Structure 1
């Protein structure tokens, strides 16, 4: 009996030791690879953004000293290419746009960028449905899993969050890339095209039409009195974000184009909500210095042509090129004859940003 008891104790001790050794080894692997490049003592390795949830990859990019300008928004500004903007303006843009980013998330992103870059040259904020159609929790919480410990907390606290299967998964992905066994998917400037190659558009027209057919229609219920003159509550947060930047920073508040299908009918809730949102942005631009407000999301040839979109919300790459050309022209005080652009507020001729 004593022999059996001794054997059992030996087995338990061996099993516990094996688990501790294995767990310790895996933890050491994770903190050495440091998949999100946030730990203060990890070795300097040429890491890349590896995680599909950009909320985990943006903090390290936001602290990168090579950037001096930033793009904030949802998927409707993910196609704005830093390389194109930089070539035109002599800037070094980071695109921090994230799928389904709530206003609260965008404000947290701005905070972490400003801590590393207190006087950015240009900040672009995409004003789309996330800002214009307030939803429960949009001003107080994230829309997807959010690593709050990466945003504003001491760097050492990251070690407390590395003992997880998710961290192990992403450390493995980062390691596979480091040793050349995994292809890079996400750009080092935050840009990654998430739409199909544009030369496939004609072959995918059926898919595009299906996206329109299955998209929820806009709310055309008659708007209540006074709604058009009452900007959404999200505008207070947007105003606060604009006010956190120094007056020397060029702030661009811009409405990306969505299909006119989503605009709704005049007098309906959808159309009136958009009208109230424009009013809110105009008011912010009017009382904050150095703010440019641009609107591409109004009825016109761009938004009324479905061939400009992959679905009612997401435009094609040629449209993105058109938007970037218009925005850079406005910043450089060059004339823009594009009917897709409506200048809501342009307070000055603008400095020549084509020179660093």
Structure 2
């Protein structure tokens, strides 16, 4: 006689079996999700590596890809590694309107403009060192601003803008494969793909140059004057002191190029509204900084030109979009002034610039 199994005994067995099946199903699901994630991650990794958005594979004889992002801190190292340029401009946005093609005609060589928006002296130095490490620079132009005269420049190495130190290393081609594995790189890689398919233009010309100011036809003098005054009112004075740590970096940069290379340092022409008031402690501090820059220039065989003075350029609102950014015709005037300063070693007869140091002066 078969005895029926009590319900109380059968239920735990059924529950255990069901739990085991469910557990196995969840394990399979977890492995599928994990495998899919790994496969997707590897696919993204391969896509970014193939598109090479930061030009990690750029080298002499292997041109960099298109410039597809506006953060020059990520884009400009590939221009250097490509090896097509033996001369370069460094600085902030106040030097970005110096056209490399015009510089080629005026100074010879093959120029790139590697000035970066709001770049700190330390950031400028990292890019310049990467350029100079190649050992064949024929010319280097440094467009410097008040930030080089900041006693706290060493503590202000970075801004809110992301800076990728791995892109400035000699082993960037390998280190960057992992460092660039992020959403930002995927976006830029997608733009590179669209460019190759003819669906998107490069963001910046291959030599780093871009007219970033509005079209000249849209210039409004009243609006420009309002921008100038607003910037002057918002400007905070630099901390006091006459020890300028960034000038040690400047000295190192000017010591690095080959002996025959052109070394040119220029204080860029900011509007007088944001220059220190004559006779003020800030003016004395800036004068001390300029004197130290001139001494470094004389020691390193550089021409040092000062456009950051009260002049027919800097006292006229109509020459500016705001207190820092001059218009395109002024950029050409600056370029021609640099050439004359190198040739003559003399101050501008119209008072646009002063020559603080020149190799011929000893």
Do these two structures clear the TM 0.5 threshold for a shared fold by scoring above it? yes
Of residues 152, 160, 179 in structure 1, which corresponds to 2:178?
A: 160
Question: What is aligned with 1:105?
Answer: 123
Measure, in 2, the Cα distance between the counterparts of 1:288 and 1:40: 31
Question: What is aligned with 2:138?
Answer: 121
Measure, in 2, the Cα distance between the counterparts of 1:40 and 1:25: 22
Asked if the contact 1:260–1:298 (Cα under 8 Å) also holds between the matched residues in 2, the reply is: yes
Question: What is aligned with 1:30?
Answer: 48
Cα distance change on mapping 1:314 and 1:269 into 2, 3 Å = farther
Task: Render the CA deviation track for 1:114-161: whole Å, top value 9, x for unaligned.
Answer: 122x13111111121121234354565566311111112412111121
Cα distance change on mapping 1:139 and 1:12 into 2, 3 Å = closer
- In structure 2, the residue corresponding to 1:300 is in which secondary structure? coil
- Confirm or deny that 1:86 pairs with 2:104: yes
Measure, in 2, the Cα distance between the counterparts of 1:45 and 1:292: 32
Shift of residue 29 of structure 1?
0.6
Of residues 120, 129, 133 in structure 1, which corresponds to 2:150?
A: 133
Question: What is aligned with 1:149?
Answer: 166
Structure 1 or 2, whichever has the larger Rg, is: 2
- Structure 1 stretch 8-17 or stretch 315-324: which is displaced more? 8-17
Of residues 318, 322, 331 in structure 1, which corresponds to 2:329?
A: 318
* Cα RMSD for the two superposed structures: 2.6
Shift of residue 317 of structure 1?
0.6
Gaps of 5+ in 1: 350-356
Measure, in 1, the Cα distance between the counterparts of 2:357 and 2:58: 43
Question: What is aligned with 1:276?
Answer: 288
Asked if the contact 2:98–2:335 (Cα under 8 Å) also holds between the matched residues in 1, the reply is: yes
TM normalised by structure 2 equals: 0.86
Asked if the contact 2:342–2:358 (Cα under 8 Å) also holds between the matched residues in 1, the reply is: no
Task: Render the CA deviation track for 1:50-69: whole Å, top value 9, x for unaligned.
Answer: 12111111111112222111
Task: Render the CA deviation track for 1:68-89: whole Å, top value 9, x for unaligned.
Answer: 1111111110111101111222
TM normalised by structure 1 equals: 0.87
Cα distance change on mapping 1:71 and 1:136 into 2, 3 Å = closer
Cα distance change on mapping 1:142 and 1:237 into 2, 3 Å = farther
Measure, in 2, the Cα distance between the counterparts of 1:157 and 1:295: 40
Asked if the contact 1:219–1:268 (Cα under 8 Å) also holds between the matched residues in 2, the reply is: no
Question: What is aligned with 2:15?
Answer: none
Shift of residue 279 of structure 1?
0.7
Asked if the contact 1:231–1:276 (Cα under 8 Å) also holds between the matched residues in 2, the reply is: no
Measure, in 1, the Cα distance between the counterparts of 2:176 and 2:307: 41
Cα distance change on mapping 1:268 and 1:330 into 2, 3 Å = closer
Question: What is aligned with 1:288?
Answer: 300
Asked if the contact 2:49–2:177 (Cα under 8 Å) also holds between the matched residues in 1, the reply is: yes
Of residues 300, 306, 312 in structure 1, which corresponds to 2:311?
A: 300
Measure, in 2, the Cα distance between the counterparts of 1:196 and 1:257: 19
Asked if the contact 1:119–1:248 (Cα under 8 Å) also holds between the matched residues in 2, the reply is: no
Cα distance change on mapping 1:81 and 1:113 into 2, 3 Å = same
- In structure 2, the residue corresponding to 1:146 is in which secondary structure? coil
Question: What is aligned with 2:31?
Answer: 13
Question: What is aligned with 1:176?
Answer: 194
Question: What is aligned with 1:257?
Answer: 269
Cα distance change on mapping 1:45 and 1:237 into 2, 3 Å = closer
Of residues 193, 196, 203 in structure 1, which corresponds to 2:214?
A: 196
Question: What is aligned with 1:241?
Answer: 253
Asked if the contact 2:92–2:118 (Cα under 8 Å) also holds between the matched residues in 1, the reply is: yes
Asked if the contact 1:69–1:91 (Cα under 8 Å) also holds between the matched residues in 2, the reply is: yes
